[in-house]
Amino acid sequence: MSKFQFPESIKSRPVYGTLEPRPGKSHLMIADAEGAEALLDLAAQDADLMAKAHIIFIPKGTAYSDKLQALNPAQYYEGPSYEASVQRLRHVLANAHQGTQVYLAGTEGLMGQAQNEAMQAGIPHTAIQTEHRGSVARRMQCVHCKGITEDVMHDPFQCAHCGLHLFVRDHYSRRLAAYQGVRVDAEDHGNIPEPVELYK
């Protein structure tokens, strides 16, 4: 099962729901990896949705492509990475009509970034749904060098840019679509705790 119940946390931490079919002129669906399962569940609730759906899917090595294409969405695109998909996503959002529904599913990093694009394009937050599936990895911003490290699974972790060892905060910026990482040994240089897998 790809669903994970996040423990209750501080108020800046995002909370995700369960996708549900909503009436709309068009349906933009963006998912990565196990997020595909949420789209499959969504289609199972309302198969008619797909005739007006545009799916942007980033498989990340998973094998959901055939199942998603079998839903016969009006448009289907598979991207090798989120970064590779983002130009298409912006184009679709820029041309979206009023009444467009946005469905985001998969990892927090994918949902956060895509939500940011949708908000910037003027999609009201009430037309955006999210459902977490799959990896609990986090997209982290190093507060010191501002570099983003994707898919962080351990706390502490090493910043991919400046190399500092950072602890994983729950403080989250929607604008950056990232959690904050702060030097773990700032008050005792070199004393870096053994990394622990998130939520273990």
Partner 1 sequence: MTIQFNNETFRDDYSFHNSDWAIKRFPFPFHEDSYMYSVNMEQHRGGPEGSVYEKRFDVDEHYVSEMRDRAMVLADDPLRCQSLPHMTLAGWDLLELIMVSKSEDYPDLFELHRDGNTWRWINKPLGIDDTFTFLDETTLPYGPMEYITRQAQGDFCVLDQRDEMLWMDAGMVTTQADWSLDFDIGMNFFEWHAPVPLAHEMGIFKRALKFLLNIQQGAPARRLNWTMTVNPLLDTSPENYHKWGIQKTTLTPENIGSKQHLRVELQTFFRLPRSNALVFPIRCYLISFQDLVTMPKWGRRLHRVVRDLPDELATYKGFIDNRPMMLDYLSQFDDGLPTSPGVFPDQDTEPALQK
- Min separation Cβ 118 and partner 1, Å: 15
- Min separation Cβ 117 and partner 1, Å: 15
For residue 131, how many other CB atoms are within 10 A of its CB? Answer: 23
Between 80 and 163, name the residue whose CB sits nearer to partner 1: 163
Which of 15-23, 28-36, 84-92, 176-184 is the region at the interface with partner 1 (rule: CB under 8 A)?
A: 176-184
When asked if residue 136 is in the footprint of partner 1 (CB under 8 A), the reply is: no
When asked if residue 10 is in the footprint of partner 1 (CB under 8 A), the reply is: yes
When asked if residue 115 is in the footprint of partner 1 (CB under 8 A), the reply is: no
When asked if residue 169 is in the footprint of partner 1 (CB under 8 A), the reply is: yes
When asked if residue 160 is in the footprint of partner 1 (CB under 8 A), the reply is: no
Q: Rounded to an integer, what distance in angstroms lies between the CA atom of residue 70 and that of residue 197?
A: 36
When asked if residue 144 is in the footprint of partner 1 (CB under 8 A), the reply is: yes
Which of 7-15, 68-76, 97-105, 131-139 is the region at the interface with partner 1 (rule: CB under 8 A)?
A: 7-15
Please give the distance of CA 136 from its chain centroid, rounded to a whole number.
10
When asked if residue 194 is in the footprint of partner 1 (CB under 8 A), the reply is: no
When asked if residue 8 is in the footprint of partner 1 (CB under 8 A), the reply is: no
* Chain residues that interact with partner 1, rule: CB under 8 A: 10-13, 141, 143-144, 146, 164, 169-171, 173-176, 180, 182-183, 186-189
